[in-house]
Chain A
Amino acid sequence: MHKKKSEMVFAFSYILPSLVLIMIFSFIPIAMDVMYSFTKYNVIQKPQFVGFDNFIRMVHDPYVWASLRNTIVFTLFTVPVQTALSLFIAAILAGKCQNQFGNVVRSAMFVPVIASAVLVGTLWSMLLAPTGPVNYILDLIGIGAVNWLGGKTTSLLSVSMATIWKNVGYFLVIFYAGIMDIPRQLYEAAEVDGATKLQKFSYVTVPCLSRITYLVMTLGTIWSFQVFDMVYTMTGGGPGLSTQTLVLTIYNAAFKAYNMGYASTVALLMFVFVIAFQILQKRLFGKEND
């Protein structure tokens, strides 16, 4: 009996430091977020209860609508492209290049992954500058310069391209590991049946990777919902509202306008979105992937 009690005390003392941190940085903040969303609060004065004012304001806020639209468009473009690209490259590497060359390609493509989003944003805003190297090449091959970051139709696409450039190496590594785990016999059996390379890819590789593809797309979507650093450095949300995103709206409301209450309301909206997405995904795809 005594031994059990001392084991409990020991376990609790080992969990305590992490529990305190998780309480302060995760559980309590969610509750505070809900509370603040019903207040007007500028950090200096005490929060004032304002009922549903923030929610009503949010529904009429063009920044919020632009953020939602941009975040969705950004996700719908970024996630499929980066998933498909990383899957294709991984399949080619696994099929053709399980050698030194393949290793070099994978290592090279992982370099952008370790760079910060701020650095990638800074780098790409230079590469995409009106007189930058990308336009220089486009000019050379006769397409002509494009106002990437300054144009309302291309700005979001530019941020998305930089994001894809940064992420492909990450997902490529995951796909590659997944392909390596596919039993060789499946490919041999397909070969016996006379399958072409393309058939092997679509009938063996892709179905065997369904769990990983699901994870890659989920992760990619959640990352896309959270895009901030890249937009902050590349466009600042502009031109106009063309690259305004949810996190940028939260940041500006909280730390430019010092309206913590309203910012919390928008944060709550984002929270609901992210959680709803994850629950929905688990419902739709979870069972077959468990």
Chain B
Amino acid sequence: MQRKSSPFLPVILLMALAIIALGAIFPFVYMALISLTQKTMLNFKFDISEFSLINYSRVFKNFNLLVNFRNSAVVTVSACILNCLVSSMAAYAFAKKKFPYRDTLFFAYLATLMIPGQVTLIPVFVIMKSMGLMNTYPALILPIINAFGVFLIRQFMANVPNDLLEAARIDGCGENRIFFTMVIPLIKAVLVSLTIFTFITAWNDFLWPLVIASKPNMKTLTLAIAALKGNYGTNYGLVMAGSTLTFLPPFLLYMFLQKQFIEGIALNGIKG
């Protein structure tokens, strides 16, 4: 006997899905709309004739958000480049070279992934402070790099054929040249994933910048938003203008690289 489900069920399900999807997007739309207004009452009545960019000019003029923007950009871009370079070098050695205690060391790397960053916060702060690195870019950037990248890329190294590397060696290719001209292009896909992952981690980082960047000219965007919200909480337009600006770079990137974002952030960590 052929089972027939009620024709209404799919329609209700589709509508429920549409509402859920709207629920994920709407708060961001609301954020952008509020940022254009001077509202003190939060409702759904928007008068287009009252829209202005005055909140945006205020966050730049009175709150110097451009400095925070620059700091976030410097930290994020450097963290991405450094993480890809450092991690792929280590991953290559772990995957393709033989040396004593290789597996033990890799196991130790994996074990560090179990340690939450909040647990090491205080000692890392003390180390940075004693090296005189408080309020510097290196202090903001370096702790972002961890064993995850090595773990991720090492899995991908199986895609690099040993025969190819051997052939290059016979042709007299130096080890560094093999790595930079042959291995790197072959692992491009996983480097894109790691870059996106690092980008989101660094751009959204909060607790570490909160403790290590105390000077206004070294604060990142997340700190600026938290401060705006803390000090001007009821000036909704202003806070939302800052929030919208903060969200724009990752959102625009996501619009162009959706598939890579989903892979880089959600799927890669799980495959292992």
Q: Interface on A for B, CB 8 Å cutoff?
A: 4, 7-8, 10-12, 14-15, 17-19, 21-22, 24-30, 32-33, 36, 43, 89, 92-93, 96-97, 101, 104-119, 122-127, 129, 131-133, 136, 165, 168-170, 173-174, 177, 194, 196-197, 212, 215, 219, 222, 225-226, 228-229, 232-233, 246-247, 250-251, 254-255, 260, 263-264, 267-268, 270-271, 274-275, 278
* Chain A residues whose CB sits within 8 angstroms of the CB of B124 once the complex forms: 24-25, 29
| Interface membership of B211, Cβ < 8 A | yes
The listed residue (B105, B122, B236, B261) touching A114 by CB distance below 8 A is B261
Does B164 make an interface contact (CB < 8 A)? no
Q: Does B51 contact A (CB under 8 A)?
A: no
The 8 A CB mask of B189-229 against A (1 = contact, 0 = none) is 00000000000100111110011000000000010011001
Count A-B contacts at CB 8 Å: 265
Which 9 pairs show the lowest CB-CB distances between chains A and B?
A116-B204, A29-B123, A32-B123, A29-B120, A11-B97, A18-B90, A26-B112, A14-B93, A11-B93
Chain A binding surface, main DSSP class: helix
Partner of A117, one of B206, B250, B258: B206
**Contact across chains for B42 and A136 when beta carbons are under 8 A apart:** yes
Check if B173 is an interface residue, CB within 8 A of chain A: no
Which of B24, B145, B175, B233 is close to A109, meaning CB atoms less than 8 Å apart? B24
> Given the complex of chains A and B, what is the CA–CA distance between A233 and B239 in angstroms?
12
Is A116's CB under 8 angstroms from B203's CB? yes
A26 and B251 in contact, given A114-B200, A123-B31 (Cβ under 8 angstroms) = no
B116 near A222: Cβ-Cβ < 8 Å: yes
B254 touches A18 (CB 8 A): no
B254 to chain A, nearest CB (A): 5
Contact sample, A vs B, 27 pairs, CB 8 Å cutoff = A8-B97, A14-B90, A14-B97, A21-B86, A26-B147, A29-B120, A30-B119, A89-B17, A96-B10, A107-B258, A108-B25, A109-B21, A111-B254, A116-B222, A122-B239, A123-B31, A127-B27, A131-B42, A165-B27, A169-B24, A194-B1, A225-B116, A251-B210, A251-B211, A267-B119, A267-B122, A270-B119
**Interface status of B14 (Cβ within 8 A of chain A):** yes
* Nearest B-chain residue to A135, judged by Cβ: B42
On whether the beta carbons of B122 and A254 are closer than 8 Å, the reply is yes
Seen from chain B, the residues whose Cβ lies within 8 Å of a Cβ on chain A are 1, 3, 5, 10, 13-14, 17-18, 20-25, 27-28, 30-31, 34, 41-44, 86-87, 89-90, 92-94, 97-100, 102, 105, 108-109, 112, 114-127, 129, 142-143, 145-147, 150, 175, 179, 200, 203-207, 210-211, 222, 225-226, 229, 233, 236, 239-240, 243, 246-247, 250-251, 254, 258, 261-262, 265-267, 269-270
Q: Please determine whether B265 and A17 come into contact, CB atoms closer than 8 angstroms.
A: no
B207 to chain A, nearest CB (A): 6
A15, A115, A127, A226: which contacts B118 (Cβ < 8 A)?
A226
- In the complex, the answer to whether A22 meets B122 with C-beta atoms within 8 Å is no
Cβ contact within 8 Å between A122 and B226: yes
Whole-angstrom distance between the alpha carbons of A107 and B256 in the complex?
12
Interface centre among A101, A122, A168, A228 (most CB of B within 10 A): A122
| A247–B118 touching, CB < 8 Å | yes
CA distance A11 to B146 in the complex (A): 19
Interface centre among A17, A93, A111, A275 (most CB of B within 10 A): A111
